[in-house]
Amino acid sequence: MVGSLVDGMTYLNGKIQSGEIKIPPPPDNIDSWPVIGKPLKSRWHEASVNPKATLARYVPQIKAVSLRLLELAMSTSMGLLQITLSIIIAGVLMANAKGGGNLVRELFVRLAGERGRDFADISTITIRNVVKGILGVAIIQGLLAGAGFMVAGVPGAGLWAFLCLFLAIIQIGIAPVVIPVIIYMFYNADTLTAGLLMVWLILVMLSDNFLKPILLGRGAPVPMLVVFLGSIGGFISMGFIGLFIGAVILSLGFKLFQAWLKINSNHTITTGSPDAFSSENSKAGGP
């Protein structure tokens, strides 16, 4: 995949430098589309005739989006580096996995009392589910999309597969890459190839709708939505490593909240029971 990524970037750079990349003209019937048809055809036609002028008009917007994507890419790269270092450290710790696990559980017990062991288990399960449900699904989608690109002969397949992987990790989804590729193939390849690729990519694009609930929520002691929201919130606030930290924090917070509600509920039932009320009245000399 990395080799194909390098080849794709080299190919794309060569096409840009030589001016061979051109936007095809819009279809004739596009202006019959309701609401967006005529303005879309006008912008599309302008872009196909003079792409440089069109890009110059939207430089501020393109620059803002590019900077945001660059920030996300840097954050993801740093996160991948942290994950790599974490794997090395984990490998060292796994040499004495049983003793290390017991030590962490005892630490949780010291911090949170008897519930500490449950919290340690929640942390373990949550991290495993995030790896499978977010990173695992992203890798599956990136590889399947890349395989479809390569079989169909899409130029720069590795580059587009890498972008699919990146967008899937940050939970945007692969649609921003898949849809332009499908349009390109319908213009530049035979109908059968483009149609088969479209069906394949749509299946890949929709696969996270059933893969993510299966992998993200399997065996989790908290609802899947809590883990998912924790991962997204953690990524927004802390970057790539926040996928794991945010999910653990929100899962533990959810369990603590449940425990607090249960304690309050038990206290209310005890102090508000009829026997307790009668006893208090007797002490006060009431009927």
Please state, in angstroms and rounded to a whole number, the distance separating the CA atoms of residues 247 and 105.
19
Amino acid code (one letter) for 179: I
Work out the mean pLDDT of the chain and round it to a whole number.
77
- Rounded Cα gap, residues 151 and 207, in angstroms: 19
Angstrom distance (rounded) from CA 105 to CA 108: 5
pLDDT one-digit tens code per residue, 228-266: 888 888 888 877 778 778 888 888 888 778 877 776 665
Rounded Cα distance, 212 and 218, in Å: 10
- Quick: pLDDT tens for 149-182: 989 888 878 888 888 888 888 778 899 999 989 8
| Overall pTM > 0.85 | no
Tell me the C-alpha distance between 39 and 156, whole Å.
31
Residue 279 pLDDT: 46
* Backbone dihedral region for residue 286 (phi beyond 0: left; psi -120 to 50: alpha; all else: beta): beta
pLDDT of residue 21: 63
DSSP-assigned states of every residue in 139-157: HHHHHHHHHHHHHHT-TTH
CA distance 133 to 126: 10
Residue 135: closest CA among 246, 211, 188? 211
> What pLDDT digit, counting tens, does each position of 5-62 carry?
667 677 766 766 666 666 767 766 777 777 777 777 777 777 777 776 777 777 787 7
- The percentage of the chain sitting over the pLDDT mark of 70, rounded to a whole number, equals 80
The single residue listed with the structure tokens 């000399």 is: 285
Say what the pLDDT of residue 203 is.
Answer: 93
Contact 155, 13 (CB under 8 A): no
Is the Cβ–Cβ distance between 247 and 220 less than 8 Å?
A: no
pLDDT at 212 over 70: yes
Mean pLDDT is lowest, of 13-22, 123-132, 161-170, 218-227, for: 13-22
Q: Looking at residue 186, what is its pLDDT? A: 85
Asked if 212 contacts 151 with a C-beta cutoff of 8 angstroms, the reply is no
Are residues 48 and 24 in contact, defined by beta-carbon separation less than 8 angstroms? yes
| Residues whose CB is less than 8 angstroms from the CB of residue 213 and which lie 6 or more positions away in sequence, other chains included | 224
The residue assigned the tokens 């479809």 is 148
What is the mean predicted confidence (pLDDT) over 92-113?
82
